[in-house]
Structure 1
Amino acid sequence: MSDKSTSASQERHGDDREEIARLLPAPAEWELPREQHLRHKELLMQHIDREQATSPRRSRRLLRPAVLAPATALALAGALTAGVALTGDNGKAGAGGQQTAADARPAAALLHQISDAAGKQDPPHVSDDQFVYTRTKSQGAELASGKAVMEPLKESESWTSQKPGPQLKLGLVKSDGETWPINAQAGDTKGTPPGLYRPTYRWLSSLPTDPDKLLKYLYAKTRKVEAREQDQAVFEQIGSLLGGLMPPRTSAALYQAAAKIEGVTRAPKAHDALGRTGLGIARNDTRNGYRTEWVFDKQDYSFLGSRSYLIKDRPYGKSGTLMSSSAELAHGVADKAGQRPTAPETTRMTSGKS
């Protein structure tokens, strides 16, 4: 093999290793239990990953691209040159037809409809001394074997503190009969302040409600990842904020901001982790070969969940391989961490298809 070929091969494998490393959770003092996959909040995923008690028996699993990542985070970017039609949550998303430029045009119109519906909701009452409660079902791909293997669907409950200012104790997570604390991010010795990676209700209320100003803020504050386009990073960042309790005006502005991101398109066959079909909004990361989809209820435009999957063959999976999937079940406000709300603000179906 020539030096030139060897160099090209090493560069290619180096890119693959960097991509896998990017998708894995950030290095942590302790391993993240495989039962935890709270895709809807990057904040939770990052904090829990750093705080779990030593569990060598539990291997790491792949977080959603980006917003982790919302939050997670799991990241996607690029112009829409290929699409995938979903078939089921069996580890394969299925191959679909080609996307065209025309697919992107109705996406903005749909997002504005979703924005209008969100803006008309009654604002919840959330005090600084309370906790925002979220219940989801989610799953993620594990890479311990070098290949993406989808884990079973797990139900999780989270309570996130709404206290202003930097905090060391951010809440609790319950899943599969176990409870874990959510603590400040590694390096935040004085606590994690409210922000994109700790989105309290008060902080969300402070965001610009003008879509252009909000989008400018998101582009400035969203973490940059070398292997990912910033357009996709911002799309994923918005996705990490969806699904919880949010001021109606902020929610409406986020959807209008998303409509301004280049490459956002409709996803006609989108469905969440429970198989509930709905109105889909998606964006492809053609550079890294990922697609992320948001799913909304066909009747009231409420957020149902999200999915991400490969649209290119990667070392750890073929095109169509499901990487993460989530479904929103319930949201509310609790007075104490670990205590369920007496009357959740929003409750979704826990099974079946819409």
Structure 2
Amino acid sequence: MTDSTAARNRPDDRDEIARLLPAPADRDLTREQHLRHKELLMQHIDHDRAASTAATEPVRRTPRRRTVRVASAAALALAGALTAGIALTGNAGPAHGGTTTAATDTRPAAALLHRISAAAAARHDTLTVRDDQFVYTREKIRGADVTSGKAVVGPLKDEETWLAQEPGPLHRLGLSRVDGETLPLNAELGDTEGTPAGFGRPTYRWLGSLPTDPARLLDYLYAKTPEAERRQRDQAVFEQIGSLLGGMMPPRTAAALYQAAARIPGVRRTVEARDVIGRPGLGIVRDDTRYGVRTEWVFDPKDYSFLGARTFLIRDTSYGKAGTLLSGTAELAHAVVDKAGLRPADADGTRTA
């Protein structure tokens, strides 16, 4: 690849890596509103870079208009949790999507995911969640700011969220509290009638409505996961499943999600994994080989419960060297409460579901 070709590709790569980072926790805007503001900033960065390279690059294609799914300045990231036992290389899966059987290198991952699925299914589903209640989650989070073009990791933060369970479209989705600062969670940008239950607002009732047959569920995920330009479909579906983990859901739904993930080509098992607070666990990963980013899920080796997730670079990029961590979470507590802002009695790290 020539220097001019690399220069042309760098903005798109930056956008794609940035898209992998979650929305900021410390915000007073909705996720999409915040990203809209960030989009304007990134357009200025593109303009400045184009001006600085114009003298050495006489021909440059006009960049496509970027979507609003760009990195946030306070994007979550995990820092310093890389361990020597984690492999930083791996084979890429097929470039097409679908419910085909995973390749040979995914068999250990499939075996582990089936054990995780069985453990999830064995948990008694005695929980009742009313439409007027809130699902409470407490996590430790850490994020990287990539605005400067380099991944700069922020401090570890304590985040609590209260997500409303009403099935209808909502303008007020709940509350978020980061390091003691409480802010409202509002409807997604463009949802003038409110945000309905779904991928962007996964209520317990909506999660329970998903297919519990793994093949049907995977077909549904491939059909419903939003398309992204230049995005490998298998990776997008893997990350869509990951976005649903870490919350409260019916055991049968969790079991089906893990079995569906086992069918995605390119999904692998790691020798060792750790969450953002250093808890060791079993790792399930998939590599975005186009952008050199690994997405990893971490599970408790004793009861196979979900501990957290992280993303990190697996090759040198303009953001940092291989091993640079971009985002991470550690699950601490889940519960159902009657009011937003109300902490459950066991919110000190004991999971209630």
TM-score band w.r.t. shorter chain: 0.7 to 0.9
Report 1:52-131 matches (<5 A). Answer: 89-90=79-80, 96=87, 98-99=89-90, 103-123=105-125, 124-131=127-134
Mapped partners of 1:13, 1:91: distance in 2:
31
Task: State the one-letter code of the partner of 2:149.
Answer: G
1:47 maps to a residue whose letter is T
Q: 2:254 aligns with which of 248, 251, 255?
A: 251
Are 1:13 and 2:7 counterparts? yes
- Following superposition, the deviation at residue 13 of structure 1 comes to 2.3
Moved more, 229-238 or 139-148: 139-148
2:141 aligned with 1:138: yes
Indicate the residue corresponding to 1:157 in structure 2. 160
The question of whether the paired residues in 2 share the 8 Å contact of 1:333 and 1:345 is answered with: no
Letter aligned with residue 117 of structure 1: A
DSSP 3-state at the match of 1:125: coil
What does residue 277 of structure 1 align with? 280
1:344: how far off?
Answer: 6.0
Structure 1 equivalent of residue 94 of structure 2: none
C-alpha spacing 1:278/1:329, structure 2 compared with 1 (3 Å): same
Q: Which residue of 2 aligns with 1:85?
A: none
User: What does 1:271-310 correspond to in 2, within 5 Å?
Assistant: 271-310=274-313
Give the direction of change, closer, same or farther, for the CA distance of 1:335–1:24 in structure 2 (3 Å limit). same
Does the CA-based 8 Å contact 1:157-1:173 persist in structure 2?
yes
Instruction: Count matched residues.
Output: 301
Distance 2:348 2:219 in 1: 30
- For the structure 1 residues 295 and 92, does the alpha-carbon distance in structure 2 shift closer, same or farther, using more than 3 Å as the test? closer
| Equivalent residues of 2:106, 2:267 under 8 A apart | yes
Q: Which secondary structure does the structure 1 equivalent of 2:9 belong to?
A: helix
Aligned partner of 1:200 in structure 2 is 203
**Residue 352 of structure 1 aligns with which residue?**
none
Give 1:150 deviation, angstroms. 1.1
Residue identity matched to 1:13: A
Aligned to 2:49: none
Deviation at 1:22, TM superposition (A): 3.4
Given the alignment of the two structures, is residue 335 of structure 1 paired with residue 309 of structure 2, yes or no? Answer: no
Distance 1:343 1:96 in 2: 36
TM-score normalised to structure 1 length: 0.77
In 2, distance between residues paired with 1:265 and 1:188?
Answer: 37
> In structure 2, how many angstroms separate the alpha carbons of the residues matched to 1:298 and 1:89?
22
CA contact (8 A) 1:91 1:149 kept: no
Counting aligned pairs with the same residue, the percent is 54
Give 1:260-271 correspondences, 5 Å limit.
Answer: 260-271=263-274
**Residues 24-76 of structure 1 deviation map (CA, whole Å, 9 limit, x = unaligned):** 469xxxxx76757xxxxxxxx99345269x99xxx9xxxxxxxx79xxxx9xx
Q: Which amino acid aligns with 1:187?
A: G
Q: Does 1:47 align with 2:41?
A: no
The two structures have a TM-score, normalised by structure 2, of 0.77
Task: Determine the C-alpha separation between the residues in 2 that align with 1:144 and 1:99.
Answer: 29
After superposition, what is the alpha-carbon deviation per residue over 1:118-174, rounded to whole angstroms, capped at 9, x for unaligned? 011122221110000000001111112221111111110000000011111100000
Distance 1:278 1:164, change over 3 A: same
Tell me: CA distance 1:189–1:323, structure 2 relative to 1, closer, same or farther (3 Å).
Answer: same
CA distance 1:47–1:196, shift in 2 (3 Å)? same
Paired with 1:345 and 1:302, the residues of 2 have a C-alpha distance of 17
2:25 and 2:178 in contact (8 A); partners too: no
Corresponding residue SS for 2:307: strand
2: CA distance, partners of 1:271 / 1:159: 26
Question: Are the equivalent residues in 2 in contact too, given 1:93–1:309 (CA < 8 A)?
Answer: no
Hey, what's the Cα distance between the residues in 1 that align with 2:299 and 2:89?
22
**Cα shift at 1:15:** 2.2
SS at match of 1:270: strand
Residues 241/296 of structure 1: CA separation in 2 closer, same or farther (3 Å cut): same
Residue type of the partner of 1:89? A
- Tell me if structure 1 keeps the 8 A contact 2:136–2:337: yes
SS in structure 1 of the partner of residue 321 of structure 2: coil
| Paired residue type of 2:186 | N
Separation (CA, whole Å) in 1 of partners of 2:229 and 2:221: 17
Give per-residue Cα distances to partners, 1:182-230, cap 9 Å, x unaligned.
1111000000111111111110110000001100110111112123201
Structure 1: 5+ residue stretches without partners: 27-31, 37-44, 60-67, 75-87, 349-354
Structure 1 residues 264 and 130: CA distance shift in structure 2, 3 A: same
Quick one: distance in 2 between partners of 1:345 and 1:274?
A: 15
Q: Does structure 2 conserve the Cα–Cα contact (< 8 Å) formed by 1:133 and 1:333?
A: yes
Between the aligned partners of 1:107 and 1:208, the Cα distance in structure 2 is: 22
Q: Point out the structure with max Rg over C-alpha.
A: 2
